Structure formats: C-alpha cells, structure tokens
Amino acid sequence: MSSVENEKQYSLRTENRGEYLYANVGGLRVTPEIALEYWHEIIDECDELGLSKILLEHSFVEMISVEGMLEVIGPLGGLLKGRMFAFIDDFGHYEIPEAAKAIFRGLHVKMQLFEDTEKAEKWLIANSPAV
C-alpha cells in the first residue's frame, strides 16, 4: 500500500464539551467506508468519556449517496443505539441526512438536523437519548 492509501481521506477533530462530544469531520467526499471509519472513532471516544450525546459538524464537499447511506445505516444504527446526535452540515447537504433521521429514529437513535451550533447545543442539553 502506498503512503497515499494509508492516509485518512477525512479530518476529524473532537472536543469533550461536558454533556456531549463535539465532532467536526470533513473532507472532499463521504463514502460508506469513510462514514463508518469516522463514526467508529467518534463512538469510541464517547464510550471512553461516558457520553451518549454528539454534536456532529459535517464539512464534506460531496455528501454520501443515497445508496451509500443505506449501506451504512444498519451498522451505524447498532453503534448509535440509545444515543442522540445533532447534525449540522456546513455545505447545506440535508436531503440525505433527513432520510437517515427517519430510519435512525426507527432504530432508537435520536437525530435532529440544525443549521447552527447554538440551537443544536440547546437541543442536546434539553433532551435525553432514545431508549
């Protein structure tokens, strides 16, 4: 494998904000493999910190396809079960996340879409994860 193949195709920055984990993830495009990889990192950190709430700021130029979202929703549903997350997309990609929200709710994952961090944070603090 060349060094280019070993490099992550996204950047991830996280911050423990007490009641929730803030995560900013971004890159050129989201694929199912990239989505699963960064979600595993986020969930591992939540588990280490004992947190069940996540504010995800998504900064990918190109959003995952509908087919890609459907491919990862099952594994992610299992990882995120009993958790809640607020989703902000810096590029305004909300059509596919809106579809994911409906599916996640059926898997006992509470997800809400926001356009600004302040509203997302208030929602996370005021609500409890799905049971």
Task: Give the rounded percent of residues in the chain with a pLDDT score beyond 70.
Answer: 94
- Burial annotation 100-126 (CB, 10 A radius, 16+ → b, else e): bbebbeebebbbbebeeeeebbebbee
Report whether 54 contacts 83 (CB < 8 A). yes
Asked whether residue 40 is assigned to any structural domain, the reply reads yes
How much is the mean pLDDT over the chain? 91
pLDDT at 7: 77
Asked whether residue 131 is assigned to any structural domain, the reply reads no
Section 11-36 average pLDDT: 97
Asked whether residue 9 is assigned to any structural domain, the reply reads yes
Look at residue 117 and tell me whether its pLDDT is greater than 60: yes
Q: pLDDT digit string (tens) for 57-93?
A: 999 999 999 999 999 999 999 999 989 999 999 999 9
CATH code for position 9: 3.30.750.24
Domain limits at 23?
3-126
Section 100-126 average pLDDT: 93
pLDDT at 131: 57
**Strands 11-16 and 53-62, sheet pairing:** unpaired
Q: pLDDT digit string (tens) for 27-47?
A: 999 999 999 999 999 999 999
pLDDT band per the 50, 70, 90 thresholds, residue 5: very low
Asked whether residue 107 is assigned to any structural domain, the reply reads yes
Asked whether residue 53 is assigned to any structural domain, the reply reads yes
